[in-house]
Amino acid sequence: MLIIPVSDRFWLKNAHIPHCLLENINLLPYTREGLCLVDLEIVAGKITQICPTSSSLDRSGVDVNRGIIFPCFVDIHTHLDKGHIWQRSPNLTGTFDDALNTVKKDAQLYWKASDLYRRMEFGLKCSYAHGTMAIRTHLDSFGQQSQVSFEVFKQLQQEWHDKLILQAVCLVSLDYFLTPDGEDLANRVAEYGGILGGVAYQNPDLDRQLDKIFTLAKERDLDLDFHADETNDPNSICLQKIAEASLGNKFTRKIICGHCCSLAVQSPEQVNQTITLVKEANISIVSLPMCNLYLQDRNPNITPYWRGITKIHEFKKAGVTVAFASDNCRDPFYGFGDHDGLEVLKEAVRIAHLDTPYDSWCANVNQIPADLMGLDKLGRIKIGLDANLIIFKARYFSELFSRPQSDRLILRQGKLIDSSLPDYRELDDLMI
């Protein structure tokens, strides 16, 4: 096992780092997988030098034996308020509709501040232990629930400020913003420094709903984050409608659309039209590969044909920014998961065929989501930044994606942290 020095100055030597995650570094040779062999100097918790690996120079420190080093993960789309309720509220059919209904019933019965706090904190503990440094969570926000959930979020944001950067997005159906309660919610989001968000469903009033949320966001200077087209219905074109609304409203702040599943079952003409509009509107896409694989194309006793994901390759080819995130965790929308950025990347690679070549896809769980969240000092390895790093024993991507990497080491400001995962038994008394 590697021993990380406790001194203020040391080297991490002989490390494989993806070239796409090395910023402001002169061109270095890299392998066919895009891995550069480098030495990192860390002084007082910051990266001070990044050099090609050399055996001839005296660089005292740790030889990681070509182990891969990532910057800490950034998880841009989660649902911490729903997390870890599977044991008390399972989705026994696995369908999207039953997930919605099951969560609604669970919220009515249990979602008081104490229940939310403990489950959300459990999710933060898992994320931190796996090497995540920033999280954006959607919070169900109908009625009085928004006040309760945002207060719990604020408390956790303050208590975890030295470990995790937290952002919150409200989550309601878009028709809610046509009501006085919807305007109150927009004010609350602005008060808490959050992001305005909602679920876009195909309906006759969608254009009016979109114009309203864009107006509310512009008036309050808020970014937007949508759930869109989380369905296998080829007639669902909410993503296209969001792009048209953005252009029509001349919206200049950031827009993110998550899921966008129906695009994958539409005609090539519809796909090209939508992607062109998305690019023009400067919308970024977040794919949730694990949750969408779980829910989409699910029918009783029928083998699924479609993997559930959106047109990831086509978006990237068109120059549209794409990120990956974990989404739901151990709740009716996804019965598994552990808030692990590596698992997200690994499953995205497998589900969407992101190997041969790996290209720069590993940036989709750190640098790219960090930029989308306005965190330009996270998610990359750069001279002058804090040494917030994940050190894997795996030397190549084939090794990285073949084992859980439970023995990873996590440095925060150059110091090794305790990466022990919380025990599920901590939540036993909530699973009544």
d(CA 17, CA 130): 18
Pairing of strands 132-140, 415-416: unpaired
Buried b or exposed e, range 165-182, using 16+ CB within 10 angstroms: bbbbbbbbebbbbeeebb
User: Could you tell me the end-to-end alpha-carbon distance of the chain, in angstroms, rounded to an integer?
Assistant: 41
DSSP bridge partners of 140: 171
CA distances 416 to 382, 388, 409, Å, are: 19, 10, 7
Catalytic residue (choose from 33, 41, 230, 343): 230
Residue at token pair 């048209």? 244
Contact between residue 303 and residue 260 where contact means Cβ atoms under 8 Å apart: no
| Length in residues, the chain | 432
230 in active site: yes
The single-letter DSSP state of residue 421 is: P
Residue at token pair 């469903």? 201
Contact between residue 323 and residue 373 where contact means Cβ atoms under 8 Å apart: no
Residue 426 CB partners (closer than 8 Å, separation 6+): 118, 122
Residue at token pair 């692990």? 340
Residue 399 dihedral angles phi and psi, to the nearest 5°:
-75, -40
DSSP bridge partners of 138: 169
On the 0-12 / 13-18 / 19+ scale of CB atoms within 10 A, 389 is buried
Active site positions, annotated: 230
